[in-house]
Amino acid sequence: MTTLLETHGLTKRFDGLLAVDDLDLRVDEGEIFGLIGPNGSGKTTTLHLLTGFLRPTGGTVRYEGREVERLRPSVRASQGLVRTFQLTNVFFTFTALDNVRHTQHLHASDSVLSSIFQTPGYRAERRRLRARAHELLELVGLAPERRDVLAGNLSAGEQRRLEVAMALAADPRLLLLDEPASGLNIEETQELEGVVTELRDRGITVILVEHNMRMVLGLCTRIAVLNFGSKIADGTPAEISADESVVTAYLGARRDAQG
Ligand SMILES: Nc1ncnc2c1ncn2[C@@H]1O[C@H](COP(=O)(O)OP(=O)(O)OP(=O)(O)O)[C@@H](O)[C@H]1O
């Protein structure tokens, strides 16, 4: 198994608060890797550190064998380390297709001159990208008749899957999904699970940050559990479900929430 992503001693401190504490992770190529933990345990901060939206206070992030913790998010994305954004990147007044096309343009390397003069090469590339956008929407289960619907008029489940299609426009090798099932009903969650499985089958490695335990336990090959910024367990779904410290962390969190 090839290691695709590794962190060593990854740490993030916000003033006095240790949000991520000396975290070692290893994600192998072809995995669906789960990152779970109670509210405030450091999952989102970890995701920001992996993708470059935050700089670590200490430690390293290795992707494809190279240290990337100092690289900007756009540079990491161009290397295939891509994340979703919980709908913040979706333009609700654009159609589903135009949202994907827009994301493709953000990653394209067209020269200004070729676009002004509409060279044959430029036009062929545009046709290729349009066909690819249709393919991506189909891959996430947005049928051709949904392509031209405004994103704001899609169902919650369709919007989540559109968000995945937009991330796929960057051609990820490793895709980080940030709570993709939040706000979805059971049926929508199952459709999303089908999409994540399909991505894995197509060779995309996935890191899934998610509160829905049924989804995480059902999909992931391995899971790491955070609590107060530290990793308290990692292993297969069966190992994690049977781990006393995980059960205690979740029960403790629930008691705190109940006051
Ligand atoms: N920019 C910031 N400045 C200060 N503290 C922060 C910042 N971002 C996160 N934190 C704190 O770091 C800790 C970890 O937060 P984080 O959002 O990573 O947790 P999480 O596991 O993703 O939580 P949730 O499941 O609720 O999304 C929390 O105590 C949070 O308040």
Q: Quick check: ipTM above 0.90? A: yes
- Predicted pLDDT at 123: 74
Query: How does 134-162 read in b/e, with b if 16+ C-beta sit within 10 Å?
Result: eebbebbbbeeebbebebeebeebbbbbb
112 and 177 inside one domain = no
The residue whose CA is least distant from atom 2 of ligand 1 is 14
Does residue 223 form part of some domain?
Answer: yes
Cβ 49 vs Cβ 56: under 8 Å: yes
Question: Does ligand 1 lie within 6 Å of residue 212's CB atom?
Answer: no
- Nearest-angstrom CA–CA distance, 52 and 69: 7
4 and 73 inside one domain = yes
- DSSP conformational letter for 152: G
141 and 184 inside one domain = no
190 and 250 inside one domain = yes
Question: What residue numbers bound the domain in which 153 lies?
Answer: 90-170
By most ligand atoms within 8 Å of CB, the mutation choice from 10, 11, 14 for ligand 1 is: 14
Taking the CA of residue 12 as reference, the ligand 1 atom at the shortest distance is 12
Of 111-115, 145-149, 164-168, 212-216, the one with minimum mean pLDDT is 111-115
Does residue 85 form part of some domain?
Answer: no
Task: Specify the 3-state DSSP secondary structure of 256.
Answer: helix
204 and 243 inside one domain = yes
HEC assignment per residue over 91-129? CCCCEHHHHHHHHHHHHCCCCHHHHHCCCHHHHHHHHHH
Q: Which of 155, 170, 185 is the last residue of a domain?
A: 170
Max CA-CA distance within the chain? 66
Taking the CA of residue 48 as reference, the ligand 1 atom at the shortest distance is 18
Question: Does ligand 1 lie within 6 Å of residue 52's CB atom?
Answer: no
By most ligand atoms within 8 Å of CB, the mutation choice from 12, 20, 41, 51 for ligand 1 is: 41
* More confident of the two residues 109 and 4: 4
Question: Does ligand 1 lie within 6 Å of residue 14's CB atom?
Answer: yes
Beta strands in 157-209 (DSSP E): 174-178, 205-209
65 and 134 inside one domain = no
What pLDDT, in 10s, does the model give residues 81-110? Answer: 999 876 677 899 999 999 999 888 776 665
75 and 193 inside one domain = yes
What pLDDT, in 10s, does the model give residues 185-233? Answer: 999 999 999 999 999 999 999 999 999 999 999 999 999 999 999 999 9
Q: Which of 170, 197, 213 is the last residue of a domain?
A: 170
Question: Does ligand 1 lie within 6 Å of residue 37's CB atom?
Answer: yes
152 and 31 inside one domain = no
176 and 247 inside one domain = yes
- Predicted pLDDT at 162: 95
Count: domains in the chain: 2
99 and 152 inside one domain = yes
193 and 141 inside one domain = no
Instruction: Name the pTM for this structure.
Output: 0.90
